[in-house]
């Protein structure tokens, strides 16, 4: 039977090994912070809208290359284009230049008569024949120059004004075959690039950040005084990947080195080092394979979080070898049978605590929960199935282990003495005072920590280009595309006063480029009537017989527009059919002052099918809601664990339970005293404290008076502190808060657990 379980686990490990080879050859590691966040429970279309905006920008990189004068700016732009157009470059130039205007002109020219601005409609509706004729004559005799179309196709010169309104969505203008803008004392050339590789893959292949840095260095060397401002998801993704890779090395390798050093000092044998290292490696490998099979992509933060698993998964190996010291090899299997009840109970509490993270509908948390739970189970199975089989040699007791184990007798134990009650009162005052000062903060920006220079460039580029905000927008829905466009028009009518009052600098809607069918037909009739009067007036004044050009008989449809490269500017805003409805996004420009958001949100009131979306606020509200939910689950979890402990240890169960409760309260009190706010990831750390903290008490109660149990608990506590202490060094605020929570809680629990041990000679009955 022993060999049977060992062979079965070996087969599982071989399958995992094969999967690991395939996984790392084509690793799809996600760095997108949105992947960590939950879907909107009431409106899944909001999640679809956010993903559409994010997917569109996922490989796009935008640059502004500037200099003091236009000629220098053009030279600088040429240097950048040469550097980024090399064969080994991970970037490819996007068709964002003056030639893209020609593509759009060709698409819209047959529909010119039904493309009117609101002011043009108002003027054409009330203009007299004389006024229309005078305008047409003026346009006819205008000096020759570059025009969008000839006089017959646009006798009143309506089209240039329509294009001017579209051009107002961006400050960039065509100039010398480039896109140009002027601002902040410089002339700028706008460049756009498309990443040819995934920015979410680890490794040096296709390093976009390095390519941009080389281009910047070459530009500054060849055109002194020039400047480049760049922004895009690929730069953020690579920064996140680099940070996560560094943290995985620091936390994972640091934890592993610390654990193996402890093993060597305690056992002075290579065998425990190899076997404990094997259990940790297999735990992480199985965890990664299971997570990759369940989820489409593994998030980098999952790996960072999972690297702290080293500080927990080695506990089972510690308990085995601590009990194995000084015993003959023949007692390996009976020893394991004696350890299994306590190990299984400890595993169950830890796994339940990890899986509790998956209660909240956060894909990122569910990944972390699955990774950690399966990793612990795999480490446990490695210890239970293989350690007695592979551990065949002698394992003498070392002086380090003897001194460590003997320290239990010198450790203070709680007794009913005045000194202990005074200490308890002082601790109670500390806890109450800290909890009174404890505040909360639920902010989605805790989930990432972008480099300051990227944030600065993003803000400057957005300010110069007048880009719309991707975090706040209006979601417009309808039964079909026609109704969506009509509702967009109603929304724009209510937004126009805010633009006039400079609450907003503008907006960008699909209906600006694609009016509804009803609007197109109405505009075509209006322009046909007005232009017929204008042409007749010109014929009467000149004696000639000019004719108005003919236009397309049908209307411009969403399908025709989206199939054309001319739709690049608004394609991301057209969601199309989602379920039984159609949706589009109206984006806003100039939302720099958070205080105006409530006023903008009021615009959606009373408009059917229109919803205001403030993704930053919504996710922050979800973080708050699930912080409260998980806080309630912690209370229920403590009660459930207490019931399990009582079932096993009867009246002595409090000895394993109270240290964990105090660890939680002391951690929260420390946060309150130092001004560290309570957030969701703090609460999640407390949830894990519940699962792992009681492990120490369980082993102390399972083996009362056994110094080897205290040795294992001490080693497990120190390694866990090192592991989660390193997690507290993470640059990601959420993970740092989680690590600090675990660090403070584990220290408290580790110190208090031996204080609650059983008196000598007493059992758990």
Check pLDDT > 60 for residue 130: yes
Mean of all residue pLDDT scores within the chain: 82
Report the pLDDT averaged over residues 730-756.
Answer: 84
Q: What is the largest CA-CA distance in the chain?
A: 123
- The pLDDT of residue 51 is 66
Residue 613: both structure tokens together = 């979306």
Q: Are the C-beta atoms of 755 and 417 separated by less than 8 Å? A: no
Question: Binning pLDDT at 50, 70 and 90, where does residue 697 land?
Answer: confident
Among 211, 162, 103, 163, CA closest to 567: 103
Those residues whose C-beta lies under 8 Å from the C-beta of residue 543, and which sit 6 or more positions away, are: none
Angle CA 531–532–537, to nearest 5: 95
**More confident position, 504 or 446:** 504
Among 192, 15, 220, 195, CA closest to 98: 192
| Domain residue ranges of the chain, discontinuous segments joined by + | 2-25+237-444+618-756
- Which CA distances in Å does 472 have to 459, 475, 489, 674, 685? 16, 10, 19, 34, 31
CA distance 368 to 354: 8
Q: Give the bridge partners for 581, in sequence order.
A: 578
Instruction: With residue 477 as reference, give the H or E element that holds it.
Output: strand 468-478
Give the length of the chain.
765
Check pLDDT > 90 for residue 669: yes
Give the three-class secondary structure for 550: coil
Report the pLDDT averaged over residues 198-217.
Answer: 69
Check pLDDT > 50 for residue 187: yes
- The pLDDT of residue 644 is 82
User: Running DSSP on this structure, what letter comes out for residue 473?
Assistant: E
Among 3, 30, 35, 48, CA closest to 582: 48
Among 302, 283, 231, CA closest to 28: 302
- The pLDDT of residue 524 is 92
Check pLDDT > 50 for residue 205: no
Most confident range (mean pLDDT) of 109-123, 170-184, 721-735 is: 109-123
Q: pLDDT tens digit string along 506-518? A: 888 999 999 999 9
- The pLDDT of residue 204 is 43
- Which CA distances in Å does 474 have to 220, 597, 701? 41, 12, 59
Q: Are the C-beta atoms of 275 and 313 separated by less than 8 Å? A: no
Residue showing tokens 């020039």: 226
- Which CA distances in Å does 243 have to 201, 307, 355, 732? 13, 14, 27, 9
Among 201, 382, 359, CA closest to 286: 382
Check pLDDT > 60 for residue 761: no
Residue 435: both structure tokens together = 């909890």
CA distance 528 to 116: 12
| Strand ranges for 185-313 from DSSP E | 186-195, 227-231, 298-299
Check pLDDT > 80 for residue 255: no
- Count of helices and strands (H, E) across the chain: 29, 13
Exposed, middle or buried, 277 (CB in 10 Å: 0-12/13-18/19+)? middle
Check pLDDT > 80 for residue 55: no
Exposed, middle or buried, 110 (CB in 10 Å: 0-12/13-18/19+)? middle
**More confident position, 701 or 546:** 701
Question: Binning pLDDT at 50, 70 and 90, where does residue 317 land?
Answer: confident
Q: How far is CA 722 from the centre of its chain?
A: 27
Low-confidence winner among 4-18, 360-374, 525-539 (lowest mean pLDDT): 360-374
Among 466, 332, 297, 406, CA closest to 706: 406
Angle CA 568–520–161, to nearest 5: 65
Percent of the chain with pLDDT over 90: 20
Query: How many CB atoms are closer than 10 A to CB 202?
Result: 17
Report the pLDDT averaged over residues 174-196.
Answer: 81
Check pLDDT > 70 for residue 728: yes
Check pLDDT > 90 for residue 352: no
Report the pLDDT averaged over residues 391-413.
Answer: 84
Instruction: With residue 110 as reference, give the H or E element that holds it.
Output: none
Angle CA 317–321–327, to nearest 5: 155
Q: Are the C-beta atoms of 751 and 696 separated by less than 8 Å? A: no
Residue showing tokens 């009660």: 639
Handedness of CA 702, 704, 709, 711 (dihedral sign): positive
What end-to-end distance do the CA atoms of the chain give, in Å? 33
For 661-697, give the DSSP string: HHHHHHHHHHHHHHTPPB-HHHHHHHHHHHHHHHHHH
Percent of the chain with pLDDT over 70: 86
- The pLDDT of residue 218 is 92
- Which CA distances in Å does 601 have to 322, 487, 591, 609? 63, 16, 12, 14
Q: pLDDT tens digit string along 208-250? A: 888 888 999 999 999 999 999 887 777 777 776 677 667 766 6
- The pLDDT of residue 445 is 64
Check pLDDT > 70 for residue 53: no
Question: Binning pLDDT at 50, 70 and 90, where does residue 631 land?
Answer: confident
Handedness of CA 503, 508, 509, 514 (dihedral sign): positive
Check pLDDT > 90 for residue 406: no
Among 199, 182, 253, CA closest to 59: 199
Check pLDDT > 90 for residue 426: yes
Question: Binning pLDDT at 50, 70 and 90, where does residue 305 land?
Answer: low
């Amino acid at each position: 039977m022993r060999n049977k379980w060992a062979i079965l686990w070996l087969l599982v490990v071989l399958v995992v090994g094969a999967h690991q080879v395939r996984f790392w050859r084509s690793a799809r590691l996600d760095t997108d912070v949105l992947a960590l966040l939950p879907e909107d429970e009431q409106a899944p279309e909001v999640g679809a809208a956010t993903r559409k905006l994010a997917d569109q920008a996922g490989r796009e990189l935008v640059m502004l290359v500037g200099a003091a004068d236009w000629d220098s700016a053009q030279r600088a732009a040429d240097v950048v284009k040469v550097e980024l157009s090399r064969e080994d470059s991970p970037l490819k130039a996007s068709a964002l230049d003056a030639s893209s205007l020609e593509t759009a002109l060709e698409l819209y020219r047959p529909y010119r008569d039904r493309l009117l601005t609101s002011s043009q409609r108002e003027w054409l509706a009330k203009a007299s024949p004389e006024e229309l004729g005078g305008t047409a004559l003026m346009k006819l005799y205008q000096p020759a120059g570059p025009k969008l179309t000839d006089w017959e196709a646009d006798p009143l010169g309506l089209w240039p004004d329509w294009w001017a309104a579209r051009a107002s969505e961006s400050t960039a203008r065509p100039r010398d075959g480039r896109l140009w803008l002027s601002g902040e004392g410089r002339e700028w050339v706008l460049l756009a690039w498309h990443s040819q590789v995934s920015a979410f893959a680890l490794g040096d292949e296709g390093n976009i950040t390095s390519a941009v840095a080389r281009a910047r260095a070459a530009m500054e060397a060849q055109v002194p005084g020039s400047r480049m401002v760049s922004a895009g998801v690929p730069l953020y993704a690579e920064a996140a990947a680099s940070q996560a890779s560094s943290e995985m090395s620091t936390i994972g390798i640091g934890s592993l080195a610390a654990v193996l050093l402890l093993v060597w000092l305690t056992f002075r044998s290579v065998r425990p080092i190899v076997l404990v290292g094997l259990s940790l490696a297999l735990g992480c490998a199985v965890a990664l394979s299971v997570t990759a099979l369940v989820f489409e992509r593994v998030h980098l933060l999952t790996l960072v979080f999972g690297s702290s698993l080293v500080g927990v998964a080695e506990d089972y190996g510690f308990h085995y070898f601590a009990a194995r010291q000084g015993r003959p090899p023949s007692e390996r299997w009976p020893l394991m049978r004696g350890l299994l009840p306590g190990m299984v109970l400890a595993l169950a509490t830890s796994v339940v605590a990890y899986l509790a993270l998956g209660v909240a509908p956060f894909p990122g948390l569910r990944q972390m929960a699955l990774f950690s739970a399966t990793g612990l189970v795999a480490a446990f199975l490695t210890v239970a199935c293989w350690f007695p089989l592979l551990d065949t040699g002698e394992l003498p007791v070392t002086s380090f282990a003897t001194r460590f184990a003997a320290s239990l007798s010198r450790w203070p134990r709680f007794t009913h003495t005045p000194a202990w009650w005074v200490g308890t009162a002082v601790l109670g005052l500390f806890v109450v005072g800290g909890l009174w000062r404890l505040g909360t903060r639920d902010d989605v920006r805790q989930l990432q920590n972008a480099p300051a220079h990227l944030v600065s460039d993003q803000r400057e580029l957005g300010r110069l280009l007048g880009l719309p905000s991707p975090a706040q927008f209006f979601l417009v829905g309808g039964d079909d595309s026609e109704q969506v466009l009509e509702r967009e028009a109603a929304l724009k009518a209510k937004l126009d006063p805010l633009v006039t009052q400079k609450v907003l600098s503008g907006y960008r809607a699909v209906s600006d480029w694609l009016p509804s069918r009803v609007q197109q037909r109405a505009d075509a009739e209006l322009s046909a009537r007005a232009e017929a009067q204008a042409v007749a007036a010109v014929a009467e004044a000149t004696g000639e017989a000019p004719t108005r050009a003919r236009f397309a008989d049908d209307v411009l449809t969403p399908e025709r527009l989206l199939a054309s490269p001319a739709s690049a500017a608004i394609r991301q805003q057209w969601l199309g059919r989602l379920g039984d409805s159609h949706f589009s996004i109206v984006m806003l420009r100039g939302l720099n002052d958070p205080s105006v958001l409530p006023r903008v949100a009021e615009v959606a009131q009373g408009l059917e099918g229109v919803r205001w979306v403030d993704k930053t606020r919504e996710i922050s509200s979800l973080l708050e809601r699930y912080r409260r939910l998980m806080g309630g689950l912690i209370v229920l979890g403590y009660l459930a664990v207490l019931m399990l402990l009582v079932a096993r240890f009867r009246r002595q169960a409090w000895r394993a339970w109270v240290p964990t409760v105090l660890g939680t309260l002391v951690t929260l009190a420390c946060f309150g005293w130092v001004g560290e706010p309570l957030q969701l990831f703090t609460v999640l750390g407390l949830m894990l404290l519940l699962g792992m903290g009681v492990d120490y008490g369980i082993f102390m109660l399972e083996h009362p008076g056994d110094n080897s149990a205290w040795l294992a608990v001490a080693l497990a506590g120190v390694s866990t502190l090192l592991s989660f202490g390193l997690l507290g060094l993470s640059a990601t605020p959420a993970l740092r808060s989680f690590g600090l929570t675990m660090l403070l809680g584990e220290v408290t629990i580790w110190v208090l657990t031996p204080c609650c041990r059983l008196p000598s000679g007493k059992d758990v009955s």
